[in-house]
Chains A and B, each alone.
Chain A
Amino acid sequence: MVNRKRWSVFAIILLVIVACQKSEDLNFEEFIGFRKPTHFPDPVYNFATTPLTKETVELGRKLFYDERLSRNNTISCASCHISQNAFTHHGHDVSHGIDDKLGIRNAPTLANLAWATSFFWDGGVPQLDLVSLAAIVNEVEMDENMNNILVKLKADAKYPDMFTKAFGKSEFSGNEVLKALAHFMTTLVSDNSKYDKVKRGEDSFTEEEEKGYQLFLAKCNSCHTEPLFTDYSFRDNGLGINPANDLGRFEVTLNEKDKLRFKVPTLRNLSYTAPYMHDGRFYTLHAVLNHYAKEVVLTDNLDPLLRINKGIPLTKEEMEALLSFLKTLDDESFIQNKNFIQP
């Protein structure tokens, strides 16, 4: 009798534990790794040197959320690249990093980085494997160095084992830290917006969206080239110099022709990534379209495509149609993806 009572009590406890688990944890999650969407070009990132595996990606994901990558263990990559905001820092024109220090540029989305030919607004970093280091050593972002990080990670109970499993050797260095982070970032693929479904023949545009798409092809696609919605070039889009005196690409090349040129950003997931531009000066897409229609500044290096009409003439109706097309680039499944959240 006593035994039976005890048994039933344990059964209840077990039931509670099971009930406790969020339902998604009960579903078996298949490791997807990196998969090239059918309507995308071949990726630029070199997967040949180190095989991308479940272990490298999971390690990268853990590192991405680890505050120990910063000097005083307060800032992780995810502090400014929040998955629910398509890996941007929602509501912040520029981000506050370590000790609440402010940078001068808006945290960009991390979607579809395997196709990027350079990184950051000025393209100062040529390889995804080197991207994380720039944020780690930046004194207003994480202000840390790799040697200190390695000391912290090697003293951890889990990391040494994870590195061994990921890279097949017992010792690890900064290169493996950066590689794991890069592998995780390549898996952040956004290819399931309504636009993508239309391209795959699974959905169709409304009349207004189709009108916007045609306008987009005529007026925007030369720089924001589909399906990635950027051509990765550097252009001066007539914003003029900002109070931070940020000269963009010039700071990397020191070439006069590069003054005020910035990388063309992707237009995917705009609904989740406000504010916009390298300095986050526009809080709404209306403000962005208004800039191209009416507020382009005739700077020395203004892009020739914008010089023709001093911007991009757009009527109110055209703006509305464009906005409804741009909404079809929102990928809800990307910002909800459970593989991207804190492990």
Chain B
Amino acid sequence: MKNLLGALVAIVFLFTNCSKTESIETDSNKNGQVKLKFDLIVNGKKLVLNDYTYTNSNGESFNISLLKFYVSNIVLGKPNGETYTVPKMESFFLIDAQDNKSLYPIISAPEGEYSYLQFNLGVDSLTNTLPAEQRTGVLDVSKHDMYWTWNSGYIHFKIEGASPQANTVNNQFKYHIGFFGGYSSPTPNNNRIITLDLSKAGISKVQENLSSDIHLMVDIGRIFDAVHTISISEYPTIMTQGPHEQMADNYATMFTHDHTHNFQKIN
């Protein structure tokens, strides 16, 4: 009988060994790290400020000297519909092409397997109405050149560069896209919510003391050629005038999930 029991244990053991242990034991009371990696490219070519030349579908060539945008309200979702919303004030990041560190926002999330990622591009209307003293860090209105006025609010997305086709001083183009809906007089709202399915290129597996690195490709070329086609020669400047809503529709399509590295050591 003892032998039989031993053999049964051995069988169970073998079976356990057999199955690939792809899924992890999770304890939602424990938190692990999630690192979002924003790889900036322009029509598939690496973004190098001031240096590399790019072309849009209108055949207009351009380079880029400045690129910043806000990422906020980050949500991680599970296949069963459960979601984890990062606490609002820990969820604001300013992605700045000039600051390499800003391209890798780090958040904390409960252990588990997440199959989609959602975030807002911009600063939402609620945050745009916060008292000034609560606007710290990347939301500090005087620090980052990303704020207009109380009615037009934060600049969600800012890009500047030069193009021979831009008929302006130094052939510059400047796109500063803001508007959250307006404080006292209504404006358009150029916040855009982006939802990315992680299940095809690798779900995010979060575990305590380890990092799940979600690599995203951000194709800036989409601002000219996506839902709408926008020409530099026609619109070298877009701020409160011009097709800012169209550009917002376009920047909402910039993001794709490329791959995920799970269980990475945290340095």
* B44 CB contact (under 8 Å) in A20, A100, A242, A286: A286
Q: Is the CB of B46 within 8 A of A13?
A: no
- Residue among A19, A20, A100, A283 making CB contact with B46, cutoff 8 Å: A283
Q: Tell me, in angstroms, the Cα distance from A294 to B221 when the chains sit together.
A: 15
Q: Which residues of A contact B18 (CB under 8 A)?
A: 16, 19-20
**Residue-wise interface mask of B (210-241) relative to A, using a CB-CB cutoff of 8 A (1 in contact, 0 not):** 00000101000000000000000000000000
State how many residues of chain A have any CB contact under 8 Å with chain B: 33
Hey, which bits of chain B sit against chain A, CB under 8 A?
A: 3-4, 7-8, 10-11, 14-15, 17-18, 39, 41, 43-46, 48, 51-55, 59, 61, 215, 217, 258-259, 267
CB contacts (< 8 Å) of B54 on chain A: these are: 295
- Chain B nearest CB from A151 CB (Å) reads 27
Query: How far does the Cβ of B51 sit from chain A's closest Cβ, in whole Å?
Result: 7
Question: Within residues 77 to 104 of chain A, which ones have a CB less than 8 A from any CB in chain B?
Answer: 90-91, 93, 100
A288-B55 Cα distance, complex, nearest whole Å? 12
Determine the main DSSP class of A at the interface with B. helix
Q: Is B11's CB under 8 angstroms from A281's CB?
A: no
Are B43 and A16 in contact, with the CB atoms below 8 A? no
CA distance A12 to B13 in the complex (A): 13
Quote the shortest CB–CB distance from A337 to chain B (angstroms).
21
**Pairwise interchain contact B61-A294, C-beta atoms closer than 8 A:** yes
Docked Cα-Cα span, A281 to B51, in Å, equals: 12
Spell out A's residues near B (CB within 8 Å). Answer: 5-6, 9-10, 12-13, 16-17, 19-20, 90-91, 93, 100, 240, 242-243, 275, 279-288, 290-291, 294-295, 297
In the complex formed, the residue of B with least CB distance to A294 is: B55
User: Would you give the shortest CB distance from A6 to chain B, in whole angstroms?
Assistant: 6
16 inter-chain pairs at a CB distance below 8 angstroms, sorted by A residue, are A6-B3, A9-B4, A12-B7, A91-B259, A93-B46, A240-B51, A275-B46, A279-B46, A280-B46, A283-B44, A283-B46, A283-B217, A284-B43, A284-B44, A287-B45, A288-B44
Shortest A264–chain B CB gap in Å is: 19
Residue of B17, B43, B44, B267 most packed against chain A (CB within 10 A): B44
The contact of B55 among A13, A295, A297, by CB within 8 Å, is A295
Q: How far is the CB of A213 from chain B (nearest CB, A)?
A: 23
A283 x B45 contact (CB < 8 A): yes
Smallest distance from the beta carbon of A221 to chain B beta carbons, Å?
A: 24
